[in-house]
């Protein structure tokens, strides 16, 4: 039987990392599930060197710096992190949620969905003849 968590956060990007930190401040037992191979979401994977100018308290920092600071903030807490694990189904049971993933199952009292672009599948252009320019 899976261990029961107070909160399971689906998504290990900036919002998921901060949600986990804040939940720990409230003494919640928290875990993070992310389909990607690393924490940080879009800022870490798509634009680690790009300056981010809209984070309160920081005039500018890069995607990599933002990710590193959020992970550092979370390091003082026991947070199981499940990477490369895709959520397939969330089933509401009587007292908790059963989460089925590509690697197993998890039980939790609360689910926070904190995922943006998922695995970053680009949206295809809807133009005639565009197929000839794909995968070049």
What pairing do the DSSP bridges indicate for beta strands 97-101 and 104-113? antiparallel
Domain count, the chain: 1
pTM of the predicted model over 0.85? no
Q: Which domain holds residue 38?
A: 4-133
Residue found by looking up tokens 């390091």 in the block: 75
CATH number of the domain bearing residue 44: 3.50.50.60
- Please give the sequence-ordered ranges of beta strands (E in DSSP) within the chain, or none if there are none: 4-10, 30-33, 51-52, 61-62, 81-82, 87-92, 97-101, 104-113
- For every one of its 136 residues, what pLDDT tens digit does the chain have, with 9 covering 90 and above? 579 999 999 999 999 999 999 999 999 999 999 999 999 998 888 889 999 998 888 888 999 999 999 999 999 999 999 999 999 999 999 999 999 999 999 999 999 999 865 555 666 778 888 888 777 7
Residue 29 is given by DSSP the state -
């Amino acid at each position: 039987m899976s261990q029961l968590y107070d909160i399971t956060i689906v998504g290990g990007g900036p919002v998921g990392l901060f949600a986990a930190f804040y939940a720990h401040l409230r003494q919640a037992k928290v875990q993070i599930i992310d389909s990607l191979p690393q924490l940080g979401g879009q800022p870490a994977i798509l634009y680690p060197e790009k300056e981010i100018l809209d984070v309160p308290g920081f005039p500018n920092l890069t995607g990599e710096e933002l990710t590193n600071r959020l992970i550092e903030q979370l390091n003082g807490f026991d947070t199981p992190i499940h990477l490369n694990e895709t959520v397939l189904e969330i089933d509401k049971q009587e007292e908790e949620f059963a989460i089925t993933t590509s690697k197993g199952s998890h039980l939790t009292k609360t689910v926070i969905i904190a995922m943006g672009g998922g695995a970053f599948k680009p949206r295809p252009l809807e133009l005639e003849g565009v197929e000839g320019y794909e995968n070049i």
